[in-house]
Amino acid sequence: MVKIEVNSEKCVKCGTCSNVCTARIIELVDLPNVSEENALMCIRCGQCEAVCPQGALELIDPSLKGVINNQIDFKGSHEQIGNYIRSRRSVRHYKDEVVDRNILEEVMDIARYAPSAGNGQPVKWMIIQNPDKVRKLAGLTIDWMKKIVSEDPENQDFAGLNLFIDAWDNGVDLVLRGAPHLVIAYAEQNKDDPMSQFVIVDGTIAFTHLDLALPSFRLGSCWAGGLSMALNEWPPIAEELELPEGNVFIGAMMLGYPQYQYHNIPKRNRAVIDWK
C-alpha cells in the first residue's frame, strides 16, 4: 500500500504538500499524514514529494521507480527550449545502424514520465530491435492495404494506399522507411473501467514525450501512420507481435539514427487562435 514518509527534522509544516495533493488526502495533524483509509485514494502522482521545498517528504510504493538525481534544476531559457522543439523533424531516412539497447532504455526512462489521465500510467511498450522484423511488419501492413483496395478497387480514396503498395512492389518501403527499430505502444482496455476511454490519448502524449526526447540522443523518429492504421485491423500483425489479450494497440513510431542532419527550421502556418 502506498504511504508517505516525512522527515520530522526537515519538515517545516508549511502545508504545501496538503494544498497540492490531487486527491486531497494529506492531513496536517502534526506532520503531514495520510490515513490508511485515505491511502486507497492516492493516485501516486508524486505531487506532494515534488513540491516539498525541504525535500522532507517521500512517496513510498514498491512499484514506483525514481531517478538517480531527482532535483529539478531547469536552466533552459524559453528561446532555447522553443528552438529545440521547433527543430524536431520527422525522419524518413535512416542509417543502416542499430541503436544500443542501453540508449533505448535511457530514452524510455524519460518517456515514462509522460502525464496520463488520473496518473493511471496505462501505456506499455514493445520495442522491435531486429530490423528484419521491422521490415516484416511493413510487409504485413502492405498485405492489409492490398486487402482493403481489393474489396473496392474503384474507390478513389484509396489513391494513397496504392502509392504505398506500388512503391513496395518496386522495392521501396514507404511504410516504415527502412528504419532499424520500431516502438509500439499498447494498453489494456476494459469497457467496465471508465478510465479506459483515455488510453489512446495517454499513449499519444507518451509518444510525444518520446519523440521530443530522441533528438537529444542524436536519434530520429517518425510517426508510423500506415502501420498504426493496420495495427488493430489486421490480425496477422497482432499475431506477429503477440499482443496480450485484453489490450489494444495505440500506435507506432519509427526510430533510428538519421541519415541526414537538419540545419534550419522551416516555416509553418501561423497558430489559429480564437481569443475569448
Closest CA to 137 of 175, 99, 101: 175
Q: Rg (Cα) of the chain, in Å, rounded? A: 23
CATH of domain 79-256: 3.40.109.10
For residue 71, the one-letter residue type is: Q
Q: d(Cα 200, Cα 196) in Å, to the nearest integer?
A: 9
> What are residue 136's phi and psi, to 5 degrees?
-65, -40
Which CATH number fits the domain 3-60, given the four candidates 1.20.1260.10, 2.60.40.10, 3.30.70.20, 3.40.605.10? Answer: 3.30.70.20
What is residue 190's predicted lDDT score, i.e. its pLDDT? 84
Say which residue the cell 543502416 belongs to: 96
| Burial classification of residue 8, based on how many CB atoms lie within 10 Å of its CB (0-12 exposed, 13-18 middle, 19 or more buried) | exposed
**Domain residues of the chain, as ranges?**
3-60, 79-256
How confident is the prediction along the chain (276 residues), in pLDDT tens digits per residue?
788 999 999 999 999 999 999 999 999 988 999 998 999 999 999 999 999 999 999 999 888 888 877 777 777 899 999 999 999 999 999 999 999 999 999 999 999 999 999 999 999 999 999 999 999 999 999 999 999 999 998 887 888 999 999 999 999 999 999 999 999 999 998 888 888 899 999 999 999 999 999 999 999 999 999 999 999 999 999 999 999 989 999 999 999 999 999 999 999 999 999 999
pTM for this one?
0.89
What is residue 194's predicted lDDT score, i.e. its pLDDT? 87
What is residue 156's predicted lDDT score, i.e. its pLDDT? 79
Domains 3-60 and 79-256 share a fold: no
What is residue 236's predicted lDDT score, i.e. its pLDDT? 97
